[in-house]
Amino acid sequence: MSTLTVPARAAPLRALASTDHKRVAIGAGAVAFAFFVAGGVLSLIMRSQLAADGGVISQDSYNQLFTMHGSTMVYLFVVPVGLAIGLYFVPLQVGAAEVAGPRVALAGLWLLVFGGLSMWAGFLTSGGAAAASWWGFDPLSDSLHSPGSGMELWIFGVVMATAGQMLWAGCVLVTALRRRAPQMTLLRMPVFTWSMLATCLLVVFAFPALIVALALLWAQRHFGGVLGGGLGAVDYQQLFWFYGHPVVYVMFFPFIGMVGEIVATFSGRRFFGHHAFILALLAFAGLSMTVWAHHMFTMGQATNKYFALTSTALVVPAGIEYLDLLGTLWRGRLRFSAAFLFALGFIVQFLVGGLTGIILASPPLDYGLNMSYFVVAHFHYTIFAGSAFGLFGGIYYWFPKLTGALLRERLGKLQFLLMAIGTNLTFFPMFVLGAEGMTRRIALYPTSTGWQPLNVLATFGALVIALSVLLFLINVWVSLRSREPAGDDPWQGQTLEWATSSPPPRHNFDALPPIRSFAPLLDAREAAQEATARARGDVAEGAPA
């Protein structure tokens, strides 16, 4: 088989053609982050429209923007960025020299790029981009109500991006299951790797439902009669939410895994309740496949009580995970790095999203709050105030491993402060607006509603978030231009990725340390400390009284 030779100086091309899992992951992460910035710009335009109460853009443009904002953030940013980090670190954490299926992983990157470009190309068509929300739900998305190629490009784009994510999930899953170092048993896999394993199981089992739903939608648009009959709209949503709820956990598990690693490292102690956490993750993953129709409570077409029961039962695994995170802080010796601050932000803010999720899992409350800004606030607290904070924590934590250079801590702490303020200013008012009856996905509202002040506040918060993201980009630029060398292990890490150079060589490890638990580097450090203490004790005992 011939190999493609890439000129050494063509770095971007190399990133798009390499089969090294680390390069594929960095490429995917960079592409996903670019889409995050693009989706963020859309949200700023929407926020200015809502603060000004109209006049900035037309209703039609607004509908395209919120559709593309949601689609970009879910399909092109949060899901791929979580999987990309898994693609980079799961092989390292299990002591593997390579990911399983490197070319398949590379194909995933290309599918993400083309999928994203296809979705965004809708803005160049005469009818504009897709405007049927990130659910693309029938019959609004059929050819009668959403004619034009924007919707077609959206379908193709989402299918491509989703197919790519399934390829990545397969690679990461097989790596964790089949490519572990000899001493790395399943129960010695670190928290992050376990969270990725749960994530990939969900991707593999749930994501095909989205591709089926979109294929049916495409056939409906071109031939009709597929989603017909009175309840075709319900059929589409059953399929969509069978993907659409597990994806919520695909956007959660990788980040709570990162937070777990960060909390353990900066507490200087072993992760608390490792086995219980793994069990909770798997229970969470299994249970999350059974809750999808809580998105359909107000349709009256599902057995609401069953889905209320399963959704509320998520309290159990979520509670265990929180207990383990707090337990890891217990008797820890804390170092308040930027990564640690972001992890704490995740813990507090995700809690708001989780608790309001339990509220929305109760149909009598959901009948009053569904489709309102209360829901918008709820899921932004989980995905942005939660997962995005976990992500930035992960970036501050692992950037030195990726590049060999540390990010600036002070800029990082400032970014955290701004982002925490901005996030709560943006999303907390939305709880109030929703409870007061503000529907989601509206481009205008009468001023007599009195919603404008809170909307202005939310828009101001969004600008603060934008500033914090800008600060992050500046931090990356500064840190790469004048490098503070990180060394192999700048944080006193506990897992195998810190036992190799930064960045790791193509084959990941020259030699592996002994692996006797899920924190092999901490084992070695503790053993060394004990040896020193014993030596000192021997000297003290041996000395004359």
Partner 1 sequence: MADSLHAYEHVRGIYFPIAIGVFAVIVAALLILLVRGARRRSAPGRKSDALAFELFYAVTLACVTVVLVAITFHAETPLDRTAAHPALRIEVTAAQWSWRLVYSNGASVTAVSTWHPTPAFVPTGEQVEFVGTSRDVIHGFWVPQLHFQRQLLPGYETRFDLRFDRPGRYGGECSVFCGNQHSEMHFALQAVSPARFQSWLNSQTAQPTAAAAVAARAGRSAQGLTAGRSAGRVGAAEAAG
For residues 320-379, which are near partner 1 according to CB under 8 A?
A: 320, 322-324, 326-327, 329-334, 336, 344, 347-348, 351-352, 355-356, 358-359, 362-365, 367-372
Exactly one of 24, 27, 40, 63 binds partner 1 (CB under 8 A); which one?
63
> How many CA atoms are closer than 13 Å to the CA of 370, on its beta-carbon side?
15
Of the residues 10, 13, 59, 510, which one makes contact with partner 1 according to CB under 8 A: 59
Distance CA 451, CA 54 (A): 13
Q: Is 528 in the site for partner 1 (CB under 8 A)?
A: no
Taking residues 467 to 506 in sequence order and writing x for each that binds partner 1 by CB under 8 A, - otherwise, the string is ----------------------------------------
Q: Which is nearer to partner 1, 14 or 270 (CB)?
A: 270
442: contact with partner 1 by CB under 8 A: yes
Residue among 302, 323, 305 nearest 313 (CA): 305
Q: Which position among 205, 270, 457, 467 is part of the footprint of partner 1 (CB under 8 A)?
A: 270
- DSSP code per residue over 22-73: HHHHHHHHHHHHHHHHHHHHHHHHHHHHHHHTSSSS-HHHHHHHHHHHHHII
Could you tell me the two tokens for 515? 């692996």
Rounded distance between C-alpha atoms, residue 425 and residue 244, angstroms: 27
Nearer to partner 1, 148 or 208 (CB): 148
Give me the least distance between CB of 449 and partner 1, in Å please.
9
Find the binder of partner 1 among 7, 225, 542, 544 (CB under 8 A): 225
Number of residues that bind partner 1 (CB under 8 A): 93
Q: How far is the CB of 244 from partner 1 (least distance, A)?
A: 15
For 174, half-sphere exposure in the C-beta direction (CA atoms, 13 angstrom radius) is 12
Residue of 117, 124, 186, 222 that binds partner 1 (CB under 8 A): 222
**Least distance to partner 1, CB of residue 338, Å:** 15
Q: Tell which one of 10, 11, 444, 473 touches partner 1 (CB under 8 A).
A: 444
Q: Within 291-320, which residues bind partner 1 (CB under 8 A)?
A: 298-301, 304-305, 308-309, 312-313, 315-316, 319-320
Q: Report residue 142 as tokens.
A: 């059929």
Which residues make Cβ contacts (< 8 Å) with residue 534, sequence separation at least 6? none
Answer for which of 272, 342, 381, 472 binds partner 1 (CB under 8 A) is 272
CB of 412 to partner 1, least distance (A): 18
Nearer to partner 1, 168 or 379 (CB): 379
Q: Which is nearer to partner 1, 19 or 362 (CB)?
A: 362
User: Least CB distance from residue 64 to partner 1, whole Å?
Assistant: 11
Residues 381-440 close enough to bind partner 1 by CB under 8 A = 436-437, 439-440
Question: C-alpha angle 479/482/483, rounded to 5°?
Answer: 65
Q: Which is nearer to partner 1, 114 or 322 (CB)?
A: 322
Report the alpha-carbon distance of residue 541 to residue 545 in Å, rounded. 9
Helix residue spans in 268-408 (DSSP H)? 274-288, 304-313, 315-329, 338-360, 363-369, 373-382, 389-403
| Structure tokens, 365 | 């409350």
Binding mask 117-136 for partner 1 (x = CB under 8 A): --------------xxx---
In the complex, the smallest distance separating the C-beta of residue 247 from partner 1, rounded to whole angstroms, is: 19
Contact in structure between 115 and 153 (CB atoms under 8 Å): no
Binding mask of the shown chain, residues 133 to 152, with x at each position contacting partner 1 by CB under 8 A: x---x-xx-xxxx-x-----
Residue 260: closest CA among 168, 173, 339: 339
Of 30, 37, 32, 33, the C-alpha closest to 465 is 37
Nearer to partner 1, 195 or 267 (CB): 267
CB atoms within 10 A of CB 512: 16
Residues 249-268 binding partner 1 (CB under 8 A) are 267-268
Distinct helix (H) and strand (E) counts, the chain? 20, 0
- The verdict on 535 binding partner 1 (CB under 8 A) reads no
Q: Which residues contact 136 (CB under 8 A, 6 or more apart)?
A: 130, 151, 154, 155, 158, 214, 217, 240
Q: Which is nearer to partner 1, 436 or 488 (CB)?
A: 436
